[in-house]
Structure 1
Amino acid sequence: MACARPALRYTGPARARREVAMTAAHATEQEIAWLSAEELAAAYRAGTLSPVTVTETLLTRIDRLNPTLNAFLHIDHDGALRAARAAQERLRRGERRGPLDGVPVTIKDLLDVQGLPTTSGSAVYRDVIAQSDSIVTERLKAAGCVILGKTNTPEFGLLPTTENELGPPCRNPWEPERTPGGSSGGAAAAAAAGLGPLHVGTDGGGSIRIPAAFCGVFGFKATYGRVARSGMSGMPLFSHTGPITRTVADAALMLDAIAGPDPRDPTSLPERPPRFLEALATPLGRPRAAFWPRPWAAPCDPEVAELVAAAAHRFADLGCEVVEAGPDTEDPRPTWLTIMLGDEYTVGEELLARHRDRLAPYTRATLEAGARLTVPEYSRALRALERFRAAMRRFFEEYDLLIMPATAVAAFPIGQRPDTIAGQKVDPLGGAFPYTAPFNLTGQPAAVLPCGFTGAGLPVAVQLVSRWGDEIGLLRACAAFEAAQPWRERRPALA
């Protein structure tokens, strides 16, 4: 599959290069709903749209679609409009804070927003109001973003789908009887339905990438520690915070705002982050990429496998040197599960003791499984983690990128996790999602991007993984693919 074609220079999606030729008086909801953050910033600068008009339009749209999708746990009408008016006044005075000033954003309900509920998807915390901002919220507010509300999550982010005890399940805009994935299912559903351009998710085992894949949008997890985690609940040990967007450039814009060290988070990387959006203007070059069609021999739906293979060929067309290869490692998923269970029990021991009957069944089961772990079991998992990280470092000495499926199936009906994939029995809890958690173990940058649709019209995504610290190379590869095979113009009928 090696290819010597010249690399392409990324200039952004076609719509982002066009002037946004609408006026606040004549722009329709549909026109505003599907604008990227880049396009909104351009419209604000040109005076053709205002933050207040955009915010009012999106709030109206959210009010109409959320009863079906359940993408939001809390919609902050008053706060969003106050922030939009403040941004509009700054723009009027020529005091624009930057490209995100006045641009709407949503925050997953595992992250604190001062004055708003942080339920963490749990009935136990239904009435808890955050007293301060998470570091990501703080940085987005400093950039001038307008926070529309808090998006849905399973309790403490513990499921790869988005159901909790607070209300009905979150639904996929492409087919509302199907799951959007999880645990950032509300964020991905909102992105896919045109409920704002920027959405913050968290990812402790695939929780940005799985729902982005199921909902046909872009999800990005940076190197562990690139985005500080102060003010985040949920799985603490392996968790990342990152963007879910409809374009690669918008994800880069958000990363420019939220990445960087924080003294409150000892795991945050101390160095100053690169300028992500600026780097997209540089050509892709000719990176060496490994295409791994069946990671760890996990079964994959034939339609998904075919579309991911086609995506690998597309990367070859774009100038990548693509060869079929994969790292020689033991299956890391049991290692991730053991460490995750121990970590969750350590954090949630008191919660289990005090509120057992108020917790969702899957949360109780997770914490009880963690309580049963022995010290030798946990110690063996730590040794396996070291071996896996070493093997992946050796592999990425030879390759710049790893191309593989994002999920083993497309979105499935709510409450009907598959127990058979491609004729093979799988664990119903995790068999559909075998490819994401390993890169939480390593902390490498990983992204999922739409690569096609099944015969039933459901999105399928390819996952790209890069070396530690190389978000720039990963974003450039994603942007080149997006420019060659645009996905944002295809939208769910519900939206």
Structure 2
Amino acid sequence: MTVEGKTVRELVTAIKDKEISPVEVASYYLEQTERKNGEINAFVTMNDKLLAEAKEAEAAVMRGEETGILHGIPVGIKDLTPVKGMRTTFGSPAYKDHIADRDATIVKRLRQAGALIMGKTNTPEFGHKGTTDNMVFGATVNPWDHSKTAGGSSGGAAAAVAAGMVPLAEGSDGGGSIRIPASLCGVFGFKPTYGRIPMDNNLGNVFGSSSPFVNHGPLSNNPDDSALFLEAVQGPSTTDPFSLPLLDSHIGSSYLEEQAQGLRIAYTPDFGMYAVDPEVRKVVEATFDNWRALGMSVETVDLNFDMDRHEFNGFFTSMWYAASAAGSAALLENNPEWVSDSYRDMIEKGKPLMASDYRAYERNRSTVWNRTQTVLQDYDLVLSPTLAVPAFDYHLLGPSIIDGQQVKEDADWMMTHAYNVTGLPAASLPAGLSQGRLPIGMQLAANRFQDARVLRAAKAYMDAYPLR
């Protein structure tokens, strides 16, 4: 049996049936990484114990031990997430030699499920933007075109999966950071309901993930592999006060118990505010017939938040500005040479914000929640473009003009923020390719706790209409 082209579920089954060994699987992905990573720069630190751990996993199979649902599967971990004994830099020169002294809960659970930690994937400094580059490791480029961005902030994770360096990767998403690079790299990225996976990257601020909602989640080649990942890592933890009770202990298989046929999809082309590249809109709207052929309905709706994009992104980014100022003002003051221009700008904008400003932002947030709930009363899913543009040059923060309109380069092309504001489950899956052969993603979201519905619909679509 060969590793190439196999899903995670197929590999797990083959390992359990002794048709292939964890060592063979790990060796294959190591070879792919050694061959491709020099140009793409997806992995920034490798686990030098990977093959030894794969041998231990193989021995467990040979002894007939009960194994986990990800046994023998290499997984990439974003360089914002602590892995004990491994360099964890957060993309910042201030931490370029930092060795984590603990595993985040998500890493512990991946290990308990039998996964092998392959290494750390690249991220922008403290995950602060939608592209991936930093002063420690440089830029991660798009596997489809090395002159283009892989997106961010889980850009290394998405690029590694897209390039075939790893079958599964962990990311985190506080503004689209899983869905943005998934869209640009042509893979599946899933942000679950807020709290479903414990977030405890920073034990010194366990309440910080609510401002706005930040989630761990998987990047993979298909929704089925992401469902297995979710089953392995979900459930409550005392290290995260927002973590949810275990909602469905077997979601890795149970998400398929109901049919996707009959689901009602509401489509918004722009959330009533975004400028969208006509090619993106054309590619996403060309999927309508495909959804309908699968037995789902698609109707265009007026989903807007009674704000233009400047007001919406203004309140959303200000929440992040405040968090950046609270967390990194001392770093900027003491070691300004270690802070990038874009992150410095966020810190400076966050310093003057007051508690009263933040309370006003919560009212904006409530509007987004209420308007979204109005649509979800009549529909099962909301469909939109994930991003307003295909991939752009990797040295840019973003485009300055979209469809003839002047836009903010750091925010106006990301159509992902609403689901961080609300904490709803949302995924990006491939819709098609641009004329320049770059992936274009579509975003699929559902109501709180309806993660299985998103996974089920996405799997039906991707099985029937793979990206070509």
Residues 224, 459 of structure 2: 8 Å contact kept: yes
Q: Which residue of 2 aligns with 1:183?
A: 153
1:123 to 93, 96, 99: 93
- 2:62 aligned partner, one-letter code: R
Residue 399 (structure 1) shift:
1.5
Q: How far does residue 164 in structure 1 lie from its aligned partner after superposition? A: 0.3
1:301 maps to what in 2?
A: 277
Aligned to 1:6: none
SS in 1 for 2:50: helix
Q: Read off the aligned partner of 2:36 and give its amino acid letter.
A: L
Cα distance in 2 for residues equivalent to 1:211 and 1:166: 20
Per the alignment, residue 373 of structure 1 pairs with 353
Mapping for residues 396-435 of structure 1, pairs under 5 Å? 396-416=376-396, 417-433=398-414, 435=415
- 1:73 to 2:44 alignment: yes
Q: Does 1:47 align with 2:28?
A: no
Secondary structure at 1:129's aligned position in 2? coil
Ranges of 4+ aligned residues in structure 1 off by more than 6 Å: none
Q: Does 1:246 align with 2:221?
A: yes
Matched, 1:227 2:193: no
Structure 1 unpaired stretches of 5+: 1-21, 491-495
Deviation at 1:388, TM superposition (A): 2.0
Measure, in 2, the Cα distance between the counterparts of 1:154 and 1:68.
17
Give the conservation status (yes or no) of the 8 Å contact 1:80–1:146: yes
Give the alignment's TM-score, normalised by structure 2.
0.94
Distance 1:271 1:41, change over 3 A: closer
Residue correspondence of structure 1 range 6-45 to structure 2 within 5 A? 22=1, 27=2, 32-45=3-16
CA deviation digits over 1:61-114, x for unaligned, max 9? 2122111011011011x3211211111011001114223111110100000100
Q: How does 1:335-350 map to 2 (within 5 A)?
A: 335-350=315-330
Amino acid in the other structure paired with 2:33: I
Tell which deviates more after alignment, 387-396 or 170-179: 387-396
Q: Say yes or no: does 1:284 pair with 2:260.
A: yes
Q: What is the CA-CA distance between 1:33 and the residue it aligns to?
A: 4.1
Name the CA distance, whole Å, in 1 between partners of 2:456 and 2:135. 40
**TM-superposed deviation, 1:285:** 3.5
Find out whether 1:470 has 2:450 as its counterpart.
yes
Aligned to 2:313: 333
Contact persistence 2:69–2:232 (CA under 8 A): no
Once the two structures are TM-superposed, the CA of residue 217 in structure 1 deviates from its matched residue by 0.2
| Aligned counterpart, 1:87 | 57
1:153 aligned partner, one-letter code: T
Alignment of 1:93-172 (within 5 A): 93-172=63-142
Q: CA deviation at 1:349?
A: 3.0
Residues 265-284 of structure 1, C-alpha deviation per residue, up to 9 Å, x if partnerless?
00111344452221243311
Q: Given that residues 272 and 304 in structure 2 are in contact (C-alpha distance below 8 angstroms), is that contact kept between their aligned partners in structure 1?
A: no
Asked if 2 retains the 8 angstrom alpha-carbon contact of 1:170 and 1:185, the reply is: yes
Deviation at 1:413, TM superposition (A): 1.0
SS at match of 2:216: strand
User: What whole-Å deviation, never above 9, does each CA across 1:356-382 have from its counterpart, x for those lacking one?
Assistant: 221122111111110022343222112
Letter in 2 for 1:427: K
Rounded Cα–Cα distance in structure 2 between residues aligned with 1:107 and 1:357: 27
Q: Residue 266 of structure 2 contacts residue 375 of structure 2 at CA under 8 Å; is this kept in 1?
A: no
**Which shows bigger deviation, 399-408 or 39-48?**
39-48
- Measured in 2, the distance between the counterparts of 1:121 and 1:115 equals 17
Asked whether the 8 Å contact 1:261–1:272 carries over to 2, the reply is no
Structure 1 Cα separation of the partners of residues 61 and 86 of structure 2:
26
Q: Which has the higher contact order (CA 8 A, sep 6+)?
A: 1
CA drift at 1:355: 2.6
Q: Measure how far apart 1:146 and its partner are.
A: 0.8
CA distance, structure 1, for counterparts of residue 99 and residue 15 of structure 2: 33
Tell whether the 8 Å contact from 2:313 to 2:412 is kept in structure 1 after alignment.
Answer: no
Query: Relative to 1, partners in 2 of residues 1:232 and 1:190: Cα closer, same or farther, differing over 3 Å?
Result: farther
The separation in 2 between residues aligned to 1:186 and 1:267, in whole angstroms, is 27
SS in 1 for 2:45: strand
Q: 2:331 aligns with which of 344, 351, 365?
A: 351
CA RMSD of aligned residues (A): 1.6
The answer for the alignment partner of 1:323 in structure 2 is: 299
**Is 1:439 aligned to residue 415 of structure 2?**
no
Which residue of structure 2 lines up, in the alignment, with residue 481 of structure 1?
A: 461
Kindly state the Cα deviation for residue 167 of structure 1 after the two structures are TM-superposed: 2.5
Q: Residue 45 of structure 2 contacts residue 121 of structure 2 at CA under 8 Å; is this kept in 1?
A: yes
What does the per-residue CA deviation read over 1:136-179, in whole Å, with 9 as the maximum and x for residues that have no partner? 00000011111110000000000100010013210100001100
The alignment-based identity, stated in percent, is: 37
The residue identity in structure 1 corresponding to 2:16 is: R
Within a 5 Å distance, the mapping from 1:377-396 to structure 2 comes to: 377-396=357-376
* TM-score, normalised by the number of residues in structure 1: 0.89
Aligned AA for 1:58? Answer: Y
User: What SS does structure 2 have at the residue aligned with 1:296?
Assistant: coil
Distance 2:12 2:75 in 1: 13
Deviation of 1:302 (Å) = 1.3
Matched positions, count:
457
1:297 aligned counterpart, secondary structure: coil
